[in-house]
Amino acid sequence: MARALLLAAAAFVLTLFVGAWWVRFARRHKLGKQIRLDGPQSHLTKMGTPTMGGVMIVGTVVVLTALVNVVDRWSILLPLAVLVSFAVLGGVDDWMTLTGSKSKTYGFTVRYKFWLMILVALVASLALYLPPPFGLDHEGLVQIPFVGQRDIGLFFIPIATLIIVGTANAVNLTDGLDSLAGWNLTLAFAAYGVMTFLAEPQLINLMGFCFTLVGACAAFLWFNAHPAQVFMGDLGSLALGATLAVVALQSQQWLLLPVVGIVFVVEALSVIIQTGYFKWTKWRFGEGRRVFRMAPLHHHFELLGWSQVQVTQRFVLIGTVAAMVGISLALIFTAPSAPIRAELPPASQVVEGQP
């Protein structure tokens, strides 16, 4: 744990330096965010704010992990590879937005990018499931609250693929307000860092990786605090969302991911509900109707009159409680089978001269 916390501190400091450089670089090269004209009017002031800030997190995590957390710890190569792969996909998508071009010369179409995400997620799922030297031999294992460890066999592969792609997109949808995605990612990685420490046996390498991400995400918040100097972009949100899913899968605690990442889940569900209901009512009544004033959910509360800071703080408070609940559930089925005696023996049993 001491080593993991030092990695978090090192990642924080390094990301601060990288972040300061990236903000200057992005401004100089006009890598400014394009804002939806149909979104909340208060967001129009963000037009031109530097984006692709996820590069400062990804770069720091890759460097520190390669230096101190990879040698003789080859299982960390999987989440690291997923982090880099999804960062490339998200970076291309960000570049498409910046150039304003839909040409394949500048990047992938939305459908092509989606299938590439599925492909990367499928490869990661196979790497988790298959035995060495092709994979990590997790054999489809999952920790089920109040039940224990179970093997779901080949069903693990499609489920893991869905979790990786779904979490990446859920984090991407949450990244719509200053600090919202960054805070909840920091909390989620910290929660899984604690879970890997509590696991039996302890997943020391994965714990160090989680806390490296905690430090990097926390430093990103330095620049992303309202009013944001830089946005995470798809480069950061897709990469960190997919990596969070892989960490949950490697720890075998992926059933707790919807609890720990409750904010991401609710944000994604709000979009699914809004889109599905609009299409159904348009087919049924000839006119599309909406459940929320705007999706994702954070925009709904903005249009109800909440300020951006209020929405972020309240969602982060929910995320904090959810992270604590997730850790407590993990404790339930990783606790030792024999109870620990905390009380002192009766005075009659104490022998003088003995401790």
Residues making up the annotated binding site are: 172, 234
139-148, Cβ contacts within 8 angstroms, sequence gap of 24 or more: 141/252, 142/252, 142/254, 142/255, 143/252, 143/253, 143/255, 143/330, 143/333, 143/334, 144/255, 144/333, 145/255, 145/256, 145/329, 145/332, 145/333, 146/332, 146/333, 147/333, 148/333
Burial class of residue 43 in the structure, from the number of CB atoms within 10 Å of its CB (0-12 exposed, 13-18 middle, 19+ buried): middle
Binding-site residues for Mg(2+), in ranges, read 172, 234
